[in-house]
Amino acid sequence: MKKLFIFFICLCFSTNSFSENLKKAYFAGGCFWCMEESFDKVNGVQVTTSGYSGGHVKNPTYKQVIQENTGHLESVEVVYDSNVITYITLVDAYFKSIDPFDSEGQFCDKGYSYRSGILYQDLKQKKIIDRKILEIETKFKRKTFIILKKFNEFYKAENYHQDFYEKNFFRYLAYKKACKREERLNELWNN
């Protein structure tokens, strides 16, 4: 919440050149609460928003998305300052926040809507993602399961999902621990 307040204050007092440096990126990595937390820790990220993207249903609700028939992924919209962080660095941060080898979802959340994916906006972004996937598959000698889709639309999730990890800290912590998210990420990326 503090970051959001600072972001809006900066927008109010900034010059046009600052706002021209704000870009958006879209990532899906299972539970969007966890993705918000991961990206909020990245220097240069201004705001994260939980939502849905990649599907065919307009203005979906959480209940619709978890029914697994909308084609949407639980996603986050990441607003970042391109003077501080590059898209390449965001993609690196994304992969350190997921298990790219899980074909059924992420951690204890299973189903299409919890699959990992990146919604790229142009061919330059897609090439960056393709290079990163090749790098990971070469290093681990395993196939990744990342859905790549051209970005079309992002639908903001219900308000109770926004900043959930901050507003419901203990409930979120219990969820994350039960899913063994940190254990798996450490096993993958810290060896």
Least confident of 16-25, 59-68, 139-148, 160-169: 16-25
Query: Given this model, what pLDDT does residue 14 score?
Result: 47
Mean pLDDT in residue range 36-41? 96
pTM above 0.85, yes or no: yes
User: What residues act catalytically?
Assistant: 31
CATH superfamily of 19-189: Peptide methionine sulphoxide reductase MsrA (3.30.1060.10)
Place of tokens 């993705």: 35
- The more confidently predicted of residues 142 and 4 is 142
pLDDT one-digit tens code per residue, 86-143: 999 999 999 999 999 999 999 999 999 999 999 999 999 999 999 999 999 999 999 9
Q: What is the pLDDT of residue 10?
A: 54
Those residues whose C-beta lies under 8 Å from the C-beta of residue 189, and which sit 6 or more positions away, are 96
Region 23-36: what's the mean pLDDT?
Answer: 96
| Other residues' Cβ atoms within 10 Å of the Cβ of residue 74 | 30
Residue 78 has a pLDDT of 98
The residue ranges of every structural domain in the chain are: 19-189
Residue 6 has pLDDT above 80, yes or no: no
- Cβ-Cβ contacts under 8 Å for 52 (sequence gap 6 or more): 60, 65, 70, 72, 73, 74, 75, 113, 154, 155, 157
Q: What is the pLDDT of residue 44?
A: 98
pLDDT-based confidence at 191, cuts 50/70/90?
Answer: low
120 in Cβ contact with 148 (< 8 Å): yes
In percent, the amount of the chain with pLDDT more than 90 equals 85
pLDDT band with cut points at 50, 70 and 90 for residue 17: very low
The candidate with the shortest Cα–Cα distance to 4, out of 49, 34, 43, is 49
Report the mean per-residue pLDDT for the chain. 92
